[in-house]
Amino acid sequence: MCRTDLDLLLLPLLELLYNMPQRTNSHVYMLLIVLLILSQDRSFAQNIHRMQIPHVAWYKERLLHNISLGSLLVIILLRTAQYNLSKMHDVYLQTNTLAALANLAPHMSGLSGYAAQRMIQLLDVILRKITRITRGLEAKAAAQQQQEGAGAAPVQPSQQQALELQVFSDFLRIVLEILNSALTSALPANPDLVYALLHRQELFEASPRCRHRSNWLWRASVAWEAPPLQSCGSTGAP
């Protein structure tokens, strides 16, 4: 992937994904699969973080100035994933989006603070959904026990609840693997990501469903104590 004008192809593609509600489902699928294929190329995943975009005019939610193409790609993918979780509920679309992020994760470098914040935001959304489902099950179990007494049979989740829980657990696992991969492979190059993690570390402490939280807390503490990070400090700026 030796082209120096990757933005010529990627910027229109990302703008189309940004305006996803105006596109047909088939078009969105194809765009994501194209990104997925591109993300599998190591040189592509590395080069996009070296290209700076002066200004992204079509991105309305925040002013993006002097942002790397890689960070913009991550932001759009995270935005797509979040939009899908809240509106479309399409497992195929979510899987492809997270797969592209997983491919890009080991090569992330200089990820912007805004991209890092959005990543943690996605993690928060998935954890909230899992918490909502499990609390619903617990409330159902408590109500049944109150009615039938101590000898009540354990409450079985409905098929839909079980499927939802499985799907969101898989999404959570993938997002945690993405963060794991980014921290393992490029920790000193992504101080804003570490800052965003430490800023929201309560996500891991408060969630009993996060089976990987002890692993994550360990990694975060290692990151904080690592000499290269202490010397450069984190910017926290988008």
Partner 1 sequence: MDYDEAAPGDPIIVAYTAALVDTASGGEDSWQLHLLRLECLKALTVAGSTQLYLSAPSAAIGIHPLMETLFISPVKERAPALVGAILRAFIARPAPPRGTPLFTPPPAPAQASAATSSSASIVGYVSSATVSLFTAPYRAAQWMLSTGSGPSSSPLADAALLLLLTLLHQPAPGAQPAVPSVHPFRQALVALRDAADVKDEAEEAEGGHAVAASAAARVPYSALYTTLSQTLTDEKSTLLLYSLLQASRRSLDPGWSPSWL
- Among residues 64, 42, 58, 176, the alpha carbon closest in space to that of 109 is found at 42
| Interface pick for partner 1 out of 4, 18, 21, 27 (rule CB under 8 A) | 27
User: What phi and psi, each to the nearest 5 degrees, are found at residue 52?
Assistant: -105, 135
| Interface pick for partner 1 out of 18, 20, 21, 37 (rule CB under 8 A) | 37
Smallest separation (angstroms) from partner 1 to the CB of 110: 23
- Among residues 86, 114, 105, 92, the alpha carbon closest in space to that of 28 is found at 92
Nearer to partner 1, 34 or 189 (CB): 34
Nearer to partner 1, 28 or 105 (CB): 28
* DSSP state, residue 88: I
CA 96, 100, 106, 112 torsion-angle sign: negative
| Interface pick for partner 1 out of 4, 21, 24, 160 (rule CB under 8 A) | 24
| Interface pick for partner 1 out of 18, 20, 31, 181 (rule CB under 8 A) | 31
* DSSP state, residue 207: -
Chain position carrying tokens 């994760």: 105
State yes or no: residue 61 binds partner 1 (CB under 8 A). no
User: What phi and psi, each to the nearest 5 degrees, are found at residue 157?
Assistant: -70, 150
Backbone φ/ψ region at 175: left (φ over 0), alpha (ψ -120 to 50), beta: alpha
Could you tell me which residues come within 8 angstroms of residue 129 by beta carbon, excluding any fewer than 6 positions away?
Answer: 85, 164, 168
State yes or no: residue 50 binds partner 1 (CB under 8 A). no
Per-residue contact track with partner 1, 104 to 133, x per CB under 8 A? ------------------------------
| Interface pick for partner 1 out of 18, 20, 38, 104 (rule CB under 8 A) | 38
Stretch that binds partner 1, among 7-15, 74-82, 88-96, 205-213 (CB under 8 A): 7-15
Which residues are at the interface with partner 1 (CB under 8 A)? 1, 3, 6, 8-9, 12-13, 16, 24, 26-27, 30-31, 33-34, 37-38, 41, 43-44
